Amino acid sequence: MQSEIEFCDEGAILSAKEPLGDGLAHLTFQAPRIAKAARPGQFVMFYPLSEARSHDPLLGRPMAIAGASGGAVEICLSVAGRGTEIIYSLPIGARCRMRGPLGSGFSAPRDKIMLVGGGIGVAPLIFAHVFYGASASSMRFVMGIPHKGWGSFVNWVGRRVQALHVWSDDGSIGEKGSAVDAACALYSGEEIWTCGPVTMLRSLVRRIPDARISASLERRMACGYGGCHGCVVPTANGPKRVCRDGPVFNAEEVRWDEL
């Protein structure tokens, strides 16, 4: 369902920064208007501001909202290129232009939920767990990571969610295997909410074909509100914009073989 909440552009101030190793960090920005309207599954666009880089990079960077309360918006950041490196390097007190909240998120749960996150894809699921936790009769959290370099991030997640199941590709933390392996081992008929790399989402849909899955897609985008059509994905109902029609989609609707 498309959100009816209108987005805004707001001057956000970095108020807290927690490096978590391996190019990972938890960042908190003061952005009261966006924080008040944000719902799980939505995201924001970041535009770092500085005299030296006021238009460099020109395009914003989409970031899933990992938490929103008390006038603050939280994100989990993984450095993947120049844009995210700039955001990661911001000092406390730095200002950003933040656009949001954007997109359509997760609907309120009706029954048991399994949250399945791959790497930094756990961010919107953390927000969902905190926001909707009391609404679900049962909510389990599955997290897949590549190696022990993500240990500090795992500990950070563990302080925020209950019933956390951690699986790592090399078996160095938790069980050995992927987030999809974990989901298959633990699945007992509940609805699944998931976010992570497309390869992970595609595998999850194929390996648990009877599950009701809501999948949050990650795509490069320029505007964040549907104007540029740069984040279109193929679906059974024609091309859909991740930023406006998503990022959360019914997994049955997405044409995974074409992604």
Q: Identify the three-state secondary structure at position 36.
A: helix
Give the span between the Cα atoms of 73 and 61, in whole angstroms: 15
Supply the pTM of this predicted model: 0.93
Task: Give the pLDDT of residue 2.
Answer: 43
210, with CB counted inside 10 A (0-12, 13-18, 19+), is exposed
- Domain 113-258: which CATH class? alpha beta
Give DSSP secondary structure letters for 8-23.
EEEEEEEEEEEE-STT
Q: Identify the three-state secondary structure at position 172.
A: coil
- Cα-based torsion angle of the residue sequence 54, 55, 56, 58 in order, rounded to the nearest 10 degrees: 140
Report the run of H or E that residue 214 belongs to, with start and end. Answer: strand 213-216
Give the span between the Cα atoms of 27 and 236, in whole angstroms: 37
Q: Is the domain 8-102 a CATH 1.20.1330.10 member?
A: no
Q: Where are the domains of the chain?
A: 8-102, 113-258
Give the span between the Cα atoms of 110 and 245, in whole angstroms: 22
Task: Give the pLDDT of residue 55.
Answer: 58
Segments of the chain scoring below 70 in pLDDT = 1-5, 49-58, 134-137
